[in-house]
Amino acid sequence: MQHTALADQTLELHDPHSFVTKYIWSQDHKVIAIQYGLTAVFVGLVALVLSALMRLQLGFPDTFDFITPGAYLQFVTMHGMIMVIYLLTALLLGGFGNYLIPLMVGARDMVFPYMNMLSYWMYLLSVIILLASFFVPGGPTGAGWTLYPPQAILQGTPGYDWGIILMLVSLAVFIIAFTMGGLNYVTTVLQARTRGMTLMRMPLTIWGIFTATVLGLLAFPALLVSAIMMLLDKTIGTSFFMPALVSLGENLDYTGGSPVLFQHLFWFFGHPEVYIVALPAFGMVSDVLACHARKNIFGYRMMVWAIVAIGGLSFVVWAHHMYVSGMHPAFGFFFATTTLIIAVPTAIKVYNWVLTLWQGNIHLRVPMLFAIGFIFTFIHGGLTGLFLGNVTIDLPLSDTYFVVAHFHMVMGVSPIMVLFAAIYHWYPLITGRMLNDALGKAHFWLTFLGTYAIYLPMHYLGFLGVPRRYFAMGSTDFIPESALSLNASITVSALIVGASQLIFLFNVFWSLRHGEKAPHNPWGATSLEWQTPDVPPKHGNWGPELPTVYRWAYDFSVPGAERDFIAQNEPPDAAHPTSGELGGAS
Amino acid sequence: MDTGSHDDSYTAPGVRGMVADWAADKQAFDMPWGKLMMWIFLLSDTFIFSIFLTSYMNVRLSATDSWPNASEVFALEIFGHHLPLILIAIMTFVLITSSGTMAMAVNFAYRRDRRKTVWLMAATALLGASFVGMQAFEWTKLIEDGVRPWGNPWGAAQFGSAFFMITGFHGLHVSAGVIYLAIVARKVARGDYEQKGYAIVEIAGLYWHFVDLVWVFIFAFFYLW
């Protein structure tokens, strides 16, 4: 092949010379990853505080004067938007995508490091614009994270003026940032793999991140276009999404627009977004499970095709978020069917994770605890998805706490369990230190049991018909007193879980200095990122020569091998049987 | 050095060989990084324009007022003759011509004929700039006729909204392309690519052809429908 020499050349690397080029205007994918990660965790903490405030109001109504109904809606909106976009998308793709892609495929850096750097700074700008909306007149938007017009830009919704404009601008900037990063991730995976690293030898982490990035590049355009159109509706008075309206007794100038069009555009982005968050998590948890069970991942090829199939299907299910918006029954049938078909590849993945654990040599270290915790939370969240995917069951449950419980389990708690697993797993590589085990275990049990204490009762609230996004229940006949006590108990659990994240933060910062020094490849992992000459890897990752890959990433406990793992770059040899053939190209 | 890959499968016939080739190590497509990245960007941009056009069709169908007749709105009086769509026809012709000069520029770039490459790229950028100029003229005329993003004298307000938004977004793409071509042409003239090769001209060309292709769709759906 013609351009193979490119991967080996070091000319393109811009070696940093000063503190500023090394840590601030850095083009090294590892530094950019950490910048992305820290920024994402910071805004994530803001969103966590917002959720605590919401829970305080719900659990103990009439107790906190500063939480007004308007402020409550703003907390709901900003919590949702930050968690989905600015924390999960940014941390999984900008953070872990950046760190792991070049290391796992054996590249020196992303293919265009300068653009990668710009991606982070645009992301930071979008975060600043987002946070600025807390300080403008009227505060941030309170339209709900779906930002449905007409209410999002009409008087009566908090932040209908400045807040919504800043929100939309921030999203547009975020999309530009994501596109610059995403083009890099996709091109790096396709074109910059090292010798022997065929597509079907890549760790599942890379498959998950790669597919999610492709989804992002095709789904974010819908959000960008709808943001532009809503901005025009808000600022210069076009009527894309705005029908003729009477607001506060006044006839508005809008006429003839289509609010449902926005919902279609939003969910054409919004549904793939679920998988933009889920697929990298699927990938990373596969690698963590295989490594800590000392067993090859069950059904590698099936896992890859399941990731790709889920990615493809995620573009034809969006209207299942809109069953109550009014739709031709045939469309309801179509979207319910496609939605339930997604359960097939997803179930394949879950079975394969469980079968990977079956008869494995399981080491219950902290990353593994979180990975197994993920299987639990994901199965629970996934099963309730089957309820909501059916039109007839969705109609009564729509906009109740059942929906809140469902999506928090499946795309809130589950990816976050994997993120914790990933941080505990890769922290030794990133920092060269081990995290404290006892603190990690305490963090796991509080988080895992705590999330069940939060979300399990919410399913019952949903069955009772308790509506989501309400500031207070008031005196409604169908909601019994006991629902209020349930809400109080959920709030207490949420505060405990929120506080237990401080254990994690303490662990991360304390271990940076005082953690045990990490041995080389502490978990006995096979994939390339653990085989770098230096830990943490230096700029350029591989020293003078790129590694050569001889096998897939899952040669654990190979009978007859010296150790219970064979690294991907270990040459085949008479003493080592090569079971790597399974992952070969043929 | 043994790469550990299954070399014989590359030559296998049919689908199996194709899959093996595509999934080979190092790179999936036999092209420079920048070119692949441009292709992927254009795929993403295709989604942006498709969604713009789909949204336009949707608001056109949901609009409560009647839709203005495009061939009447976009007509010019030239020397006493009433010519529908004449300006758009010229603009389209100019833009498609610029795709021709761009294709020739790519050809000469790979032959390392720097002088001709620079001239042809300059011609392409000039044609692009004149397209933007004519678009500015068209906008001015429409605004004088009373078309605004929030309303117009003839019917549905969405006519002006969609028109200014979509042609504006496309016009920004053309303007960005003109600047991009100018920068690359300058670097070609200085000989910056003698070492690296001239793939960059083709990459800029990909973008330019894409912008032209999008215009064909805007032309068909907005002016001819």
* Neighbouring residues of A505: CB distance < 8 A, sequence distance ≥ 6: none
Question: Which of B23, B27, B43 faces A200 most closely, judged by CB atoms?
Answer: B23
Which phi and psi (to 5°) does residue B83 adopt? -120, 105
pLDDT, residue B6, reads: 44
The range of the structural domain enclosing residue B89 comes to 31-224
Whether the per-residue pLDDT at A454 is higher than 80: the answer is: yes
Across residues A335-352, what is the average pLDDT? 96
Question: Which of B4, B37, B156 faces A256 most closely, judged by CB atoms?
Answer: B156
Residues 523-552 of A with CB under 8 A from B: 548-551
Chain B, nearest residue to A266 by Cα:
B51
Q: Are residues B4 and B45 in the same domain?
A: no
Q: Are residues B68 and B11 in the same domain?
A: no
pLDDT, residue A22, reads: 77
In a 3-state reduction of DSSP, which class is residue B84? Answer: strand
User: What gap in Å lies between CA A459 and CA A465, rounded to an integer?
Assistant: 10
Which phi and psi (to 5°) does residue A416 adopt? -70, -35
Q: Are residues B65 and B175 in the same domain?
A: yes
CATH number at B74 reads 1.20.120.80
Domains delineated in chain A:
25-241+253-289 (1.20.210.10), 361-518 (no CATH), 521-586 (no CATH)
Q: Are residues B7 and B67 in the same domain?
A: no
Q: Tell me which of A35-44, A57-66, B120-129 is least confident.
A: A57-66
User: What gap in Å lies between CA A210 and CA B19, rounded to an integer?
Assistant: 18
pLDDT, tens digit (0-9, with 9 covering 90-100), for B59-76: 999 888 999 988 888 888
Q: Are residues B24 and B40 in the same domain?
A: no
Question: Which of B29, B31, B55 faces A225 most closely, judged by CB atoms?
Answer: B55
Residues of A in contact with B30 (CB under 8 A): 1-3
CA angle A229, A235, A241 (to 5 degrees): 35
Say whether B27 and A229 touch across the interface (CB within 8 A).
Answer: no
Region for residue B85 given its phi and psi (left: phi exceeds 0; alpha: psi -120 to 50; beta: otherwise): left
The answer to whether A237 faces chain B, any CB pair under 8 Å, is yes
A178 — pLDDT class (breaks 50, 70, 90): very high
User: What is the pTM for the complete model shown?
Assistant: 0.93
Q: Tell me which of A477-486, A571-580, B2-11 is least confident.
A: B2-11
pLDDT, tens digit (0-9, with 9 covering 90-100), for B85-134: 889 999 999 999 999 999 999 999 999 999 999 999 999 999 999 999 99
Identify the sign of the CA torsion B123, B129, B133, B134. positive
Which phi and psi (to 5°) does residue A155 adopt? -55, 140
Residues 215-234 of A with CB under 8 A from B: 217-218, 220-222, 224-225, 228-229, 232
pLDDT, residue A585, reads: 40
Residue with the larger pLDDT of the pair A48 and A4: A48
Residues of A in contact with B165 (CB under 8 A): 228-229, 232, 238
pLDDT, tens digit (0-9, with 9 covering 90-100), for A309-327: 999 999 999 999 999 998 8
| A28-to-A25, A99, B36 alpha-carbon distances in Å | 9, 9, 22
B2 — pLDDT class (breaks 50, 70, 90): very low
| Closest-CA distance of chain A to residue B32, Å | 7
Across residues A347-359, what is the average pLDDT? 96
User: What gap in Å lies between CA A566 and CA A553, rounded to an integer?
Assistant: 9
Q: Are residues B106 and B22 in the same domain?
A: no
Residues 88-127 of A with CB under 8 A from B: 111-112
A408 — pLDDT class (breaks 50, 70, 90): very high
Across residues A111-140, what is the average pLDDT? 96
Q: What stretches of A110-161 show up as alpha helix (H) in DSSP?
A: 113-132
Q: Are residues B14 and B92 in the same domain?
A: no
Is the distance from CB of A538 to CB of A103 less than 8 angstroms?
A: no
Whether the per-residue pLDDT at A55 is higher than 90: the answer is: yes
Across residues A405-434, what is the average pLDDT? 96
Identify the sign of the CA torsion B20, B26, B30, B34. positive
Residues of B in contact with A187 (CB under 8 A): 33, 36-37, 40
- The interface predicted TM-score of the complex, written ipTM, equals 0.91
CA angle A487, A488, A492 (to 5 degrees): 115
pLDDT, residue A578, reads: 52
Helix (H) or strand (E) holding A218: helix A204-235
Q: Tell me which of A13-17, A115-119, A140-144, B130-134 is least confident.
A: A13-17
- Mutation target among A187, A552, A570 for the B interface, most CBs of B within 10 A: A187
Say whether A550 and B4 touch across the interface (CB within 8 A).
Answer: yes
A2 — pLDDT class (breaks 50, 70, 90): very low
User: What gap in Å lies between CA A480 and CA A466, rounded to an integer?
Assistant: 10
Chain B, nearest residue to A241 by Cα:
B59
Say whether B44 and A179 touch across the interface (CB within 8 A).
Answer: yes
Pair of tokens at residue A411: 């795309």
Which phi and psi (to 5°) does residue A324 adopt? -90, 0
Helix (H) or strand (E) holding B75: strand B75-78
The answer to whether A569 faces chain B, any CB pair under 8 Å, is no
pLDDT, residue A329, reads: 87
Say whether A256 and B32 touch across the interface (CB within 8 A).
Answer: no
Q: Which residue has the tokens 């059916």?
A: A390
User: What gap in Å lies between CA B215 and CA B202, rounded to an integer?
Assistant: 20
Residues of A in contact with B17 (CB under 8 A): none
Say whether B51 and A256 touch across the interface (CB within 8 A).
Answer: no
Pair of tokens at residue A493: 């659990």
Pair of tokens at residue A520: 């080389």
Residues of B in contact with A549 (CB under 8 A): 4, 25
User: What gap in Å lies between CA A128 and CA A149, rounded to an integer?
Assistant: 24
Three-state SS sequence of B117-156: HHHHHHHHHHHHHHHHHHHHHHHHHHHHCCCECCECCCCC
User: What gap in Å lies between CA A88 and CA A37, rounded to an integer?
Assistant: 10
Is the distance from CB of A391 to CB of A257 less than 8 angstroms?
A: no
Say whether B5 and A237 touch across the interface (CB within 8 A).
Answer: no
Kindly report the average pLDDT of chain A as a whole number.
92
Chain A, nearest residue to B197 by Cα:
A3
Q: Are residues B161 and B186 in the same domain?
A: yes
- Closest to A504 in 3D by CA, of A28, A49, A41, A24: A41
Is the distance from CB of A26 to CB of A32 less than 8 angstroms?
A: yes
* Neighbouring residues of A76: CB distance < 8 A, sequence distance ≥ 6: A54, A142, A144, A145, A469
Say whether B62 and A257 touch across the interface (CB within 8 A).
Answer: yes
Question: Which of B20, B27, B47 faces A585 most closely, judged by CB atoms?
Answer: B20
Say whether A258 and B58 touch across the interface (CB within 8 A).
Answer: yes
How large is the C-alpha radius of gyration of chain B? Answer: 22
Is the distance from CB of A171 to CB of A126 less than 8 angstroms?
A: yes
One-letter amino acid for residue A200 of the chain: M
Is the distance from CB of A175 to CB of A237 less than 8 angstroms?
A: no
Q: How far is CA B29 from the centre of its chain?
A: 23
pLDDT, residue A498, reads: 96
| A499-to-A384, A446, A504, A505 alpha-carbon distances in Å | 28, 10, 10, 10
Residues of A in contact with B62 (CB under 8 A): 256-258, 261
Domain count, chain B: 2
pLDDT, tens digit (0-9, with 9 covering 90-100), for A228-261: 999 999 999 999 999 999 988 889 999 989 999 9
Across residues A210-218, what is the average pLDDT? 97
User: What gap in Å lies between CA B55 and CA B155, rounded to an integer?
Assistant: 18
Which residues partner with A517 through β-bridges?
A433
Q: Are residues B158 and B173 in the same domain?
A: yes
Q: Are residues B187 and B206 in the same domain?
A: yes
Q: Are residues B104 and B16 in the same domain?
A: no
Residues of B in contact with A580 (CB under 8 A): 4
- Mutation target among A12, A202, A255 for the B interface, most CBs of B within 10 A: A255
Q: Are residues B12 and B120 in the same domain?
A: no
Say whether B20 and A265 touch across the interface (CB within 8 A).
Answer: no
pLDDT, residue A12, reads: 52
Is the distance from CB of B171 to CB of B139 less than 8 angstroms?
A: no
Question: Counting beta carbons within 10 angstroms of the beta carbon of residue A519, is it exposed (0 to 12), middle (13 to 18) or buried (19 or more)?
Answer: exposed
Other C-beta atoms closer than 10 Å to the C-beta of A451 total 24
pLDDT, tens digit (0-9, with 9 covering 90-100), for A69-98: 999 999 999 999 999 999 999 999 999 999
A4 — pLDDT class (breaks 50, 70, 90): very low
